Amino acid sequence: MITINDIAKEAKVSAGTVDRVIHNRGGVSKKTAAKIKAIVAKHDFQINAIASSLALNKRVEIATLIPDYDTKNTFWKSPMMGILKAKEEVKKIGATITCYTFNQFDEASYVSQFKKIIASKPDAMLLAPLFGSVTKNLVKELDEKEIPYVFININLEGCNNSSFIGQDSYMSGFLAGKLMQLSLKESNTIAVMQTRINLDNNHAIYNRIKGFEAYFTSHNIQVNLINVNIIDLDNVIELKDKLATMFAHNPDIQGVFVPNSRIFTFVAAIDLLKIKRMVLIGFDGTDKNVVCLEDENVAFLISQQPFKEGYEAIKMMVDFLIDKKELDARVYSPIEILTKENVRFSKHSK
């Protein structure tokens, strides 16, 4: 009796791709889908019979570890929704996804959850390595136990991860620098908001800032970049006072660069200060950020399709574990520029 792997082999695709075609879930080109359907028809198999044979394949377990989210920090909701959608789909082919989360501002929370995952002995792991230094030590145990792991959102160098899926954070920062320069059109003072303790421990934000700075140096553009350390973003009044001091000492600031997903908090604080004609550029099309964009309080948002990252990460890991499909070392997400004019037409809105 022909198996799902036989069909996949004949079509020269993965079993996951065959499964998507059989259950009409999309994500497969018309040409490939037609080829698979022709093979299914040739062997005269009913869809239920194929689904059953698929379920008999090797069962695999994948653990995911990403930050949790709340009303103030909503970015990680999107990749989690992508993971959960993929989780429902891949369980039909014998894959179990167990989701763990941690407090993105608490390294101990991250370490605790990581150790729980190691103890559970998964077949593979998907993680957001938010705490770079400690991650490099923790993944050594994954290496020793030969548990493959994939990074999402943050590409931490110096590890043996099988793949990375996410945005090129350096280039996204570089693009933000270009957008800022085009918006200001002359040499100006720009405030760069550093919102993490031990900035170099958070590689995504660190690389965004480095890319932002590199745009100006690589183009020999004279600009005054002021690095401002603001850690607590939950207290808008306190944030307003810190920004008031910043603007008092640097009255010529015309641009504000926020390399994380919470530019809406800066908009609220600046609004309290009644400061106008400010160019603000931030990251991620979260609902609150998009409102700021539509109200023209933010000039640009750099977005990266986080839902798709979570979804595709699980799908490609299942293909890797079940069908031994080779993983690409890097799977880059688009670097999207969201504006007031295009945001409702973007993939973010879907």
Q: Give the CATH number, domain containing residue 86.
A: 3.40.50.2300
- Does 343 map to a domain? no
Statement to judge: residues 212 and 289 lie in one domain: yes
Quickly state the pLDDT bin for 86 (edges 50, 70, 90): very high
> How many domains are contained in the chain?
3
Statement to judge: residues 88 and 152 lie in one domain: yes
- Does 346 map to a domain? no
Statement to judge: residues 13 and 66 lie in one domain: no
Q: Cα angle at 334 between 314 and 29, to 5 degrees?
A: 60
- Does 116 map to a domain? yes
Q: What percent of the chain has pLDDT over 70?
A: 91
- Does 344 map to a domain? no
Q: What is the pLDDT of residue 5?
A: 78
Q: What is the pLDDT of residue 49?
A: 47
Q: What is the pLDDT averaged over residues 256-266?
A: 92
Q: What is the pLDDT of residue 148?
A: 94
Q: What is the pLDDT averaged over residues 134-147?
A: 94
Statement to judge: residues 153 and 202 lie in one domain: no
Statement to judge: residues 80 and 131 lie in one domain: yes
Q: What is the pLDDT averaged over residues 193-210?
A: 75
Q: What is the pLDDT of residue 275?
A: 85
Q: What is the pLDDT of residue 132?
A: 87
Statement to judge: residues 37 and 137 lie in one domain: no
Statement to judge: residues 152 and 182 lie in one domain: no
Using the predicted structure, report yes or no on whether residue 35 has a pLDDT greater than 70: yes
Statement to judge: residues 65 and 22 lie in one domain: no
- Does 348 map to a domain? no
CATH of the domain at 41: 1.10.260
Quickly state the pLDDT bin for 349 (edges 50, 70, 90): very low
- Does 341 map to a domain? no
Statement to judge: residues 235 and 181 lie in one domain: yes
Using the predicted structure, report yes or no on whether residue 199 has a pLDDT greater than 50: no
Q: What is the pLDDT of residue 239?
A: 86
Statement to judge: residues 186 and 282 lie in one domain: yes
Statement to judge: residues 268 and 320 lie in one domain: no
- Does 339 map to a domain? no
Quickly state the pLDDT bin for 94 (edges 50, 70, 90): confident
Provide the residue range defining the domain that includes 266: 169-303
Q: What is the pLDDT averaged over residues 168-180?
A: 97
- Does 280 map to a domain? yes
